[in-house]
Amino acid sequence: MSRENFNDLLVFLAVAREKSFTRAAIKLGSSQSALSHTMRTLEARLGVRLLDRTTRSVSLTEAGRRLFDSVGPRFDDIESDLAAVIELGEKPAGTIRITAIDHIIDTVLWPRLRPVLAANPDLHIELSADYRLVDIAAERFDIGVRYGDQVELDMIAVRLSPDIPTAIVGAPSYFALRPVPATPQDLLKHNCIGLRLAGGGRYAWELADGERKVQARVTGQAMFTGAYQMLHAAIDGAGLAFLTMDLVQDALADGRLVQVMPDWCPPFPGIHAYYSSRRHPTRAFTTVMDALRAGAADQEKSISQSASLPLR
């Protein structure tokens, strides 16, 4: 295969990893039709089908799997070698990809990383908002950021915050027509705003009063896939929401929301950044991790203050 055809292999690797022409096109900054044409050309040149395509999914054939397992690590090695050469420069350079849920990106990651980008013009950071438990190795992320109980055991984890207080909240307009709940059983009589998990299930509220732990399988009219939308729905009076205190503290302070059942709201494990123990720590990676660690004290102070808000 001539050198100019190496780009065809990069397209194949992107589609194989993403299992989607659409996602691969977004990642490569190309069009879906261009990638499809490239793959058809590559398969015709090799004389074998590499991908099985349906209207809903893309999977590897036996030949595709063999090519992916053989060629993929070699391109990874090339990328690592290039990163090592870049590291010989005086300043951090390259791209660091991070996966986290949306409000952690807004409240924890971006405030800590924004000054780093300003100080390092050759450094690039990609922040991907996702509620799935992402396999960072398989999806080629450098860092994952999740609550501590969601971190895989074989990863190196760095705590970025103390444990996060939680709250069950509703708008005054909601409680004007309904009694205030006092127990998890009472929640079954209320309109509770739901969170749809990536696998399709509905998140069960993880409540606890001391040693008593309950997974409250609440129901309600509104369901979302993100915490911000749940917050806005609660403020609008659509029902009760179970959220972290950092999301609701402003609305509690100005009276748009009311907290109920505080004794049943345990803290979530602190936010952790995690990465593979086999990862080579480049200068860009170290710079990003140092910035994420540096803001932990400020985050702890903010969470401590929000936890001390008076109940309304």
Q: What is the pLDDT of residues 297-308, one digit of tens each?
A: 565 555 455 444
Beta bridge partners of 215: 206
With 60 as the cut, is the pLDDT of residue 4 above it?
no
Given a contact cutoff of 8 angstroms between Cβ atoms, the answer to whether 257 and 232 are in contact is: no
Residue 38 has pLDDT above 60, yes or no: yes
Q: How many CB atoms lie within 10 A of CB 176?
A: 8
Residue 237 has which token pair? 């009076």
Q: Please tell me the predicted confidence (pLDDT) of residue 29.
A: 83
How far is C-alpha 47 from the geometric centre of its chain's CA atoms? 39
Q: Do the beta carbons of residue 211 and residue 181 sit within 8 Å?
A: no
Per residue in 111-136, pLDDT tens?
999 999 999 999 999 999 988 888 88
Can you read off the two tokens belonging to residue 112? 């800590």
Mean pLDDT of the chain: 87
Return the higher-pLDDT residue of 286 and 10.
286
Asked if pLDDT for residue 204 goes beyond 80, the answer is yes
Q: What was the pLDDT predicted at 54?
A: 79
β-bridge mates for residue 214, sequence order = 207
Per-residue confidence band for 87, with pLDDT thresholds at 50, 70 and 90: low
| Amino acid at position 275, single letter | Y
Residue 68 has pLDDT above 90, yes or no: no
Please tell me whether the overall predicted TM-score, pTM, comes out greater than 0.75 for this model.
no
Domains and CATH numbers, the chain: 3-71 (1.10.10.10), 94-155+272-307 (3.40.190.10), 166-264 (3.40.190.10)
Is 291 exposed, middle or buried, given 0-12, 13-18 or 19+ CB atoms closer than 10 A?
Answer: buried
Residue 138 confidence (pLDDT) above 70: yes
Using the predicted structure, report yes or no on whether residue 3 has a pLDDT greater than 90.
no
By CB atoms closer than 10 A (0-12, 13-18, 19+), residue 83 is middle
Looking at residue 53, the DSSP 8-state letter turns out to be E
Q: Say whether pLDDT at 278 is over 80.
A: no
Give the whole-number percent of the chain exceeding pLDDT 90: 51
